[in-house]
């Protein structure tokens, strides 16, 4: 069969597109799939904007988060719209402190708690689960029974107990939230490792005499990064919710520091005086952060799912 010049041109274009797709790495393909998800991209943009606000909000505010404006102290309910209140664009709290600066500082603390808590969970859980799954046998059984025992302990009770016994500091808050949050990650990674360790490239590395720690670090864990990344983005909002609940109870960060949970607790207590902005602004950033992380997590899950390729 003789092809016409038009058919030859179309065939060449088709082969070029196939070569381009075949030459694209898995991460490049995942990035392209993620960028086609409008909700995920919108969530990512929202996270960038929220982070910028958390980092620069105190620079925009004419007052620091702990500075008291004596002219408006105790007059939050009398000042009307927040923008009218002596340059306090988000209004003031009962002590006359600027809500814009405090909301920015609370957002930064909540993001730090979520990210650091998720980082501890990812590092500890990935290493623990990969070792348990790869070694197998009695070691795997003992390690996973330890996980089961720790999972039976009430998570919130442990955090509150640590804060009461060792003091309510930011470090203890990071440690308490990250202490048991790695357990679910360990079980997920362990299950994926059991699947991976029977693959040909792992058998080839083992037959070549590569030590087990090197196989875990260079072959097992890199192939789990997709699942770990997805779980981490979904774990961060869980950590933020945990911190917010603890701060709502008054056991989180202490004055003059604040967090979104503490600001929401304070705002809920002053709503009866008509100062709704003390609750509205922290609650808005809390809800926006939650939705943004969930949208990004769903986008990463869809982009890295091998069944959809």
Please say if the pLDDT value at position 249 is more than 50: yes
Q: Per mean pLDDT, which of 39-53, 143-157, 233-247 is the most reliable? A: 39-53
| Token duo for residue 230 | 């997805």
Burial of 277 (0-12, 13-18, 19+ CB in 10 A): buried
The pLDDT value recorded for residue 74 is 61
- Per-residue pLDDT at 1: 47
Q: What percent of the chain has pLDDT over 70?
A: 82
Q: How many angstroms separate the CA atoms of 121 and 125, rounded? A: 6
What's the whole-number mean pLDDT along residues 167-194? Answer: 80
**What's the Cα-to-Cα distance from 108 to each of 131, 161, 194, 259, rounded to whole Å?**
34, 25, 38, 8
Write down the pLDDT at residue 142.
92
pLDDT digits (tens, 9 = 90+) for 197-220: 888 888 888 888 888 888 888 888
In which band, very low, low, confident or very high, does the pLDDT at 308 lie, cut at 50, 70 and 90?
A: low
Q: Are 158 and 175 in contact (CB under 8 A)?
A: no
Side-chain-facing half-sphere of 219: CA atoms under 13 Å: 21
- pLDDT band at residue 82 using 50, 70 and 90 as cut-offs: low
What is d(CA 84, CA 92) in angstroms, rounded to the nearest whole number? Answer: 11
pLDDT band at 47 (very low <50, low <70, confident <90, very high): very high
Instruction: Pick the range with the lowest mean pLDDT from 11-15, 96-100, 113-117.
Output: 11-15
Compute the distance between CA of residue 289 and CA of residue 132 in angstroms, rounded to an integer: 34
Average pLDDT of 252-267? 80
Q: Domains of the chain (ranges plus CATH)?
A: 37-56+74-308 (1.10.3720.10)
- Answer yes or no: is pLDDT of 15 > 80: no
pLDDT at 94: 74
Mean of the per-residue pLDDT values for the chain? 78
Hunting for tokens 């996980």 — which residue is that? 147
């Amino acid at each position: 069969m003789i092809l016409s010049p038009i058919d030859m041109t179309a065939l060449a274009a088709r082969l070029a597109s196939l070569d381009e797709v075949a030459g694209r790495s898995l991460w490049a393909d995942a990035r392209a799939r993620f960028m086609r998800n409008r909700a995920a991209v919108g969530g990512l943009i929202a996270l960038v904007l929220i982070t910028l606000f958390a980092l620069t909000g105190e620079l925009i505010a004419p007052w620091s988060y702990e500075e008291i404006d004596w002219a408006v102290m105790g007059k939050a309910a009398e000042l009307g719209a927040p923008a009218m209140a002596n340059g306090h664009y988000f209004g003031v709290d009962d002590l006359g402190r600027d809500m814009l600066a405090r909301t920015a500082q609370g957002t930064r603390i909540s993001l730090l708690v979520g990210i650091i808590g998720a980082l501890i969970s990812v590092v500890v859980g990935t290493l623990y689960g990969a070792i348990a799954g790869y070694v197998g046998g009695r070691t795997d059984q003992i390690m996973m029974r330890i996980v089961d025992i720790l999972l039976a302990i009430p998570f919130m009770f442990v955090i509150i107990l640590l804060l009461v016994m060792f003091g309510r500091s930011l470090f203890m808050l990071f440690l308490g939230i990250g202490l048991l949050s790695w357990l679910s990650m360990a079980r997920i990674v362990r299950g994926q490792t059991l699947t991976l360790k029977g693959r040909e490239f792992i058998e080839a590395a083992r037959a070549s005499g590569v030590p087990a720690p090197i196989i875990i670090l260079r072959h097992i864990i890199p192939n789990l990064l997709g699942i770990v990344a997805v779980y981490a983005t979904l774990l961060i909002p869980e950590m933020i919710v945990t911190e917010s609940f603890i701060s709502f109870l008054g056991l989180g960060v202490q004055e003059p520091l604040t967090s979104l949970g503490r600001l929401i607790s304070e705002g809920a207590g002053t709503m009866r005086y008509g100062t709704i902005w003390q609750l509205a602004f922290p609650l808005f950033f809390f809800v926006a952060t939650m939705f943004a992380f969930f949208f990004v997590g769903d986008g990463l899950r869809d982009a890295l799912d091998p069944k959809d390729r």
